[in-house]
A and B are shown apart, each in its own frame.
Chain A
Amino acid sequence: GDSVTQMEGPVTLSEEAFLTINCTYTATGYPSLFWYVQYPGEGLQLLLKATKADDKGSNKGFEATYRKETTSFHLEKGSVQVSDSAVYFCALSDPSGYSTLTFGKGTMLLVSP
């Protein structure tokens, strides 16, 4: 079945550091790929998405490129802020049927001033 593997956390960075959170996937067909963010005490929010190979999703300074050849969707940000501290989930969706989401385990990001 479909699966998503993302790097274990926590990732601890200083403010303004460069961020990379790795995500790779296994899926049949051509899934859509997503990054969700969960701030403390809140529900998951869609951060960005890409629906086909070579697409780049971007939002709030974060970006990720759908790489079919390496089955990857790594999340990057050039300069993190304390307010980016949260748990980040990589996910994929089968574009057919109910479009159910398959999630990675989540990576906690802690940014210190």
Chain B
Amino acid sequence: GAVVSQHPSWVICKSGTSVKIECRSLDFQATTMFWYRQFPKQSLMLMATSNEGSKATYEQGVEKDKFLINHASLTLSTLTVTSAHPEDSSFYICSAREGIAGNEQFFGPGTRLTVL
């Protein structure tokens, strides 16, 4: 199957700093990318959906000014957590899909963010 990578796999930062997480589709063009957040023993919660070259669509309750998403190319999307606080500590997972709705999403391995 197609491969999606995330970088970094884990990051620790101080409160008030910003952190950028990259999501790359390695062998296909990702028309649409999704960002999820997962708390321990909880399900994946969709944060936002982005199409290449367009602004991201955020789910209700997700602060778009805090979680900046850029999908500048067909192989790269970034999530920037701005002015991070301890409550932003979580596991962030991206997925990517080629082509139309209904095609399979391929998931990255996730990024563990810890804010001190």
Contacts and interface: CB of A to CB of B under 8 A. Distances in A.
Interface of A: 4, 32, 36, 41-46, 89, 95-106
Q: SS class of chain B's interface: helix, strand, loop or mixed?
A: strand
Nearest to A108: B41
A45 B42 contact: no
A44 B107 contact: yes
Contact of B104 (A41, A46, A96, A106): A46
Nearest to B3: A43
B81 interface: no
Nearest to B1: A45
Interface in B58-72: none
B101 A97 contact: yes
Contacts of B109: 41-43
B80 interface: no
Contacts of B102: 32, 95, 99
Contacts of B108: 43
B107 A99 contact: no
A105 B107 contact: no
Contact of A105 (B42, B93, B95, B101): B42
B44 A89 contact: yes
A105 B1 contact: no
A33 B87 CA distance: 32
